[in-house]
A and B are shown apart, each in its own frame.
Chain A
Amino acid sequence: MNKNHRVPSSRSLNAVEVKSKFGAEFRRFSLERSKPGRFDEFYGLLQHVHRIPNVELLVGYADVHGDLLPINNDDNYHKAISTANPLLRLFLQRKEEADHGTFGTDSLTRKKNTVLSAVLLRPDHNKKKPPVIISLPKDFRPVSSIIDVDILPETHRRVRLYKHGQEKPLGFYIRDGSSVRVTPQGLEKVPGIFISRLVPGGLAESTGLLAVNDEVLEVNGIEVAGKSLDQVTDMMIANSHNLIITVKPANQRNNIVRSGVGGGGGAASGSSGRSSDSGASYYGYSSHSAAASIPPHIIQNFPVGELESDEDEEDLVIEAGGEAEPIRHVASNHSMSSLPRYEPHLNLRTATTPSPDRAMERGSLEEDGTVITL
């Protein structure tokens, strides 16, 4: 009993029609606009509907301006879904040429970026938009920034990491330590919290704004002095969707301006480390955009709250449809089949596919999921 049976009237607003092209073949299906799910699920779905389960793909879509943009992580995937009006046109390519075997999961290097973006942007096929400028900067989100430079001492740096709710790891560790302070009584050793490790490929590392042995002074405006390592950990995790850390960098030589830039646009939205290529190509774009506009991680007094409003606490409420089936008494283990099943990651439902097919598809997705996590 799939409640996603096509109900043209009420559903149409909520559904995104997808037309996907791979080679000469087209597939059509629909997605729920409010619950697009995650990119890797979407990717699996594409492989499934095209029946090319083991083919590595580059996914592109035509945006409203007719540009061909990549879909390779949750962010641009959601963007694609939300801008599709009403049809989302997808273009799939084999990734073979780009696939030199260097694509380990989670390894995001710039070298790959260029290769990948080159592949994607190669104006060979029927795409008609080769130009360099692909999109407006506002279509991309900043991933990190140095803020409040005007009010902070030069020796401090306030770094904002934009988590955007996706799965890319923040990627750093903190530890206890002690730092030396100058007090009227002389030098004094005080306990402090320090960054102890950066996870390769994590958001923290890729920004280049944080480094090992930087002392953490504040978390989202709250001083950490006097707090235990566990408290600071919990504070950071609680603020992880929009983390603002004030640090005293261990390396004081390149303070303030343009210090830690470099990092290829900084990480941002990852694809949960699932498909290596995707993240990489995104960065390719991202650096382009960075070139076109102000690099996002440079001095910028970001109006706090701008992102806060949508990032912070937009809890997802799913109301079971009013038309839901009459409640049937459930004798035994099949009790829940009449009720919407909770599938935390598998919210993609192809309304067009008949239910037996869907069941199968779900099975395959699940299988896929496990393979990936392992």
Chain B
Amino acid sequence: MVHILGISLPDSQLARFALTSIYGIGHHTSHRLCARFQIHDRCKVKDLTPFQITAIASFLSSPKTAPPVPHYPLATPDFTPRPAKMSSHELQAEFNAAQATQRQRKQEKLLALGKALPDAKAESKTRDPLNNLKIESELRREVRENIAHQRMIGSYVGRRHAMNLPVRGQNTQSNAKTAKKLNRLNRYG
């Protein structure tokens, strides 16, 4: 049994499916998460390494502040790899140094063209949809706030939530059972 943010994921389930049991993560987000942490499609929860589990848990605890995934280089057909005795730390250090020089050169170019301020921190604009991910309590709060906003501005939608009736124009003469049961001002609260 693996626990992520207090939610237990059964060992025998596929990791890609098990992540959808978290509120706010559907199949597409789960696929993207698995790709980010290099989890293949048929990987079961029991096959996840401790490193992957902690990485997922730390990412989901605050997706906005997660470090962006670097663009690692990929081998061309004629690429000859470095000797096998090089340690992974050396290679990572080399890569980081190369990235840093690349960023430096980019910043200098932008400065020369007048497109960047000298003291501004290089803010990487990520188009990664996982950065804007909201789950669990944060997502529930957003839904509650949306309903509260509708009520505050006095809209039809807000009034219907307050009256526990269907909001989207459904029939009320018959068949409004789910709305009468679930529609509230403090829904999901």
Do A and B come together as binding partners?
A: no
Q: Interface residues, chain A, CB within 8 Å of chain B?
A: none
